[in-house]
């Protein structure tokens, strides 16, 4: 006899566990199935984000930035640290502890909201039945009125540079190095490649990043990307654009990468390689062929604007569906779907999803870039403000970078905000709220910002759009 629920969520990452909690808050009997196992064999909710992605990478980014600042910047503040030691083991222990705490927090939230959690595999059968197979037991049949697929994504593997869990690793492996590699190669200069490259460069590795595209961060505003690239170069990150990897020779001595660019063929000798060329949806063993859920040619579950699949009362959210692979995008889809199942009105505003790269400088943006508006033939205006003129940024010794605000030339509605500089990931929140409420640059201009704060840079950039900046020369 099968157990019955109102909602079964398959996947316990940021999309899945949020959907489960929200559904339970709506009074629906909810279950959440997750198959994640950590290196030690311990199951955990939170998916890649919490256990092997967003959270552990930010922990190492924070630790490595503190180490870098102590080694390079503290003397400028009149702070002498004497002999500085790196305890990588302690950094890794701290990272793991944070992930464990947050994963345990999800279990606590499940109990508080009466979500039934299952560790193991969920397989969707016809008629919204789910075969649940625990990691160490016999399978059982579950049933639900609604099923939400939130199976996440997995790193893309290059056939010419296959993972070996030692010399050639994915993003998870790059978070678990026991020693700092002397020479590290990173394939891919996207979000993951830049963040991981930054971690190990700060800790002393000579990092070379090979990017197949000719343009650096093409998804970001070009002006912001140029500024970030300049700062990364000053930090010693060797970013080679238009570098297409052809082959890799792995030996006990390291890895020899062969790549081509406009100048011809080259070789790069490194100790370890991180492959960070993107992620693909993970749907392995998720669906019975007769379940009625369509998968497109790129491997994504087909959904409409409200995340309904082609099967009745089956929904899909997060990385396994179209759109940016961002934890907060998946979480908002989880909230929307749970509300829709409960008969509420809900939507996700995909036009104001922020993107953040947690390097130093941080890079963050929301809305349209200047190049997108040019291509569309739109009439727009731009305001910028450099952190060099920010008293708070200078006091922090973080005066590089800028804020850029783009608005419609006629209506003054804000169309995009782009930031490269200190705490950009936090500053972008103001822009997201403003754009959610269709604010104008005048709205930001007339909003009082505390002094001295980094948010004043956003204020000044908005003023600059109308050539009204106070603390910068208007041109």
Q: Indicate if 77 belongs to the active site.
A: no
Q: What pLDDT score does 117 carry?
A: 98
pLDDT tens-digit profile of 282-313?
A: 999 999 999 999 999 999 999 999 999 999 99
| 281 confidence band (pLDDT: 50, 70, 90) | very high
pLDDT tens-digit profile of 412-431?
A: 999 999 999 999 999 999 99
HSE value, Cβ hemisphere, 13 Å, CA-based, for 298: 12
Query: Where would I find the beta strands (DSSP E) of 342-413?
Result: 355-357, 362-367, 380-386, 402-408
pLDDT tens-digit profile of 340-366?
A: 999 999 999 999 999 999 999 999 999
Length of the chain: 475
In DSSP terms, which residues pair with 116 in a beta bridge?
31
Q: What pLDDT score does 1 carry?
A: 67
Instruction: Name the residue ranges covered by the structural domains of the chain.
Output: 3-155+280-348, 168-277, 352-464
| Averaged pLDDT, 67-80 | 95
CA angle, residues 185, 253, 204, in degrees to nearest 5: 45
| Averaged pLDDT, 129-144 | 96
Please, which residues have CB within 8 angstroms of residue 278's CB and are 6 or more apart in sequence? 155, 156, 188, 190
CATH architecture of 168-277: 3-Layer(bba) Sandwich (3.50)
> Cα-flanking dihedrals φ and ψ of residue 365, to 5°?
-155, 160
Active-site hit among 77, 123, 135, 451: 451
| Averaged pLDDT, 116-133 | 98
| Averaged pLDDT, 40-62 | 97
Domain boundaries 352-464, CATH class: alpha beta
pLDDT tens-digit profile of 193-205?
A: 999 999 999 999 9
**191 sits in which H/E element:** helix 191-202
Task: Calculate what percentage of the chain has a pLDDT beyond 90.
Answer: 99
pLDDT tens-digit profile of 385-400?
A: 999 999 999 999 999 9
User: Given a cut of 90, is residue 475 above it in pLDDT?
Assistant: no
Q: What pLDDT score does 474 carry?
A: 95
Please, which residues have CB within 8 angstroms of residue 474's CB and are 6 or more apart in sequence? 464, 467, 468
Q: What is the mean pLDDT of the chain?
A: 97
User: Given a cut of 90, is residue 227 above it in pLDDT?
Assistant: yes
Question: CA-to-CA distance for 77 and 432, rounded, in angstroms?
Answer: 34
pTM of the prediction?
0.96
Q: What pLDDT score does 2 carry?
A: 80
| Averaged pLDDT, 326-339 | 98
Domains 3-155+280-348 and 168-277 belong to one CATH topology: yes
Cα-Cα-Cα-Cα dihedral sign, residues 324, 325, 330, 332: negative
CATH, domain range 3-155+280-348: 3.50.50.60
């Amino acid at each position: 006899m099968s157990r019955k629920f109102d909602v079964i969520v398959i996947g316990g990452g940021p999309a899945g566990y949020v959907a489960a909690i929200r559904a339970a808050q709506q009074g629906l009997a909810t279950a959440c199935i997750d198959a994640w196992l950590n290196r030690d064999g311990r199951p955990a909710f939170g998916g890649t984000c919490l256990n092997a992605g967003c959270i552990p990478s930010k922990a190492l980014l924070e630790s490595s930035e503190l180490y870098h600042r102590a080694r390079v910047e503290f003397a400028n503040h009149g702070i002498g640290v004497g002999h500085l030691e790196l305890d990588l083991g302690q950094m890794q222990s701290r990272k793991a502890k944070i992930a464990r705490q947050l994963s345990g927090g999800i279990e606590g939230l499940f109990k508080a909201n009466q979500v039934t959690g299952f560790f193991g595999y969920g397989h969707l059968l016809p008629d919204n039945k789910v075969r649940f197979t625990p990691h160490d037991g016999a399978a059982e049949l579950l049933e639900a009125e609604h099923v939400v697929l939130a199976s996440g994504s997995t790193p893309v593997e290059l056939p010419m540079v296959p993972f070996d869990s030692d010399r050639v690793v994915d993003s998870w492996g790059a978070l678990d190095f026991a020693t700092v590699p002397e020479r590290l190669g990173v394939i891919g200069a996207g979000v993951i490649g830049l963040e991981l490259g930054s971690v190990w460069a700060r800790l002393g590795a000579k990092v070379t990043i090979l990017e197949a595209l000719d343009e650096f961060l093409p998804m970001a505003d070009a002006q912001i990307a140029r500024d970030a690239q300049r700062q990364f170069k000053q930090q010693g990150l060797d970013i080679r654009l238009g570098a297409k990897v052809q082959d890799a020779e792995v030996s006990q001595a390291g890895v020899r990468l062969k790549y081509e660019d406009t100048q011809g063929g080259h070789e790069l000798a490194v100790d370890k390689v991180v492959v960070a060329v993107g992620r693909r949806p993970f749907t392995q063993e998720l669906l019975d062929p007769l379940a009625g859920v369509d998968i497109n040619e790129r491997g994504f579950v087909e959904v409409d604007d409200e995340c309904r699949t082609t099967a009745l009362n089956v929904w899909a959210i997060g990385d396994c569906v179209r759109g940016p692979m961002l934890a907060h995008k998946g979480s908002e889809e989880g909230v929307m779907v749970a509300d829709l199942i409960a008969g509420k009105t809900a939507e996700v505003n995909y036009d104001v999803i922020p993107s953040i790269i947690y390097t130093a400088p941080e890079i963050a943006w929301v809305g349209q870039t200047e190049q997108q508006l040019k291509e569309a033939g739109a009439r727009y205006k731009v305001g910028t403000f450099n952190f060099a003129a920010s008293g708070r940024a200078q006091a922090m010794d973080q005066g590089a970078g800028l804020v850029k605000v783009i608005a419609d030339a006629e209506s003054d509605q804000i169309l995009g905000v782009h930031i490269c500089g200190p705490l950009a990931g936090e500053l972008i929140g103001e822009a997201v709220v403003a754009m959610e409420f269709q604010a104008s640059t005048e709205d930001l201009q007339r909003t009082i910002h505390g002094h001295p704060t980094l948010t004043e840079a956003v204020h000044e950039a908005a003023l600059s759009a109308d050539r009204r900046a106070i603390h910068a020369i208007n041109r």
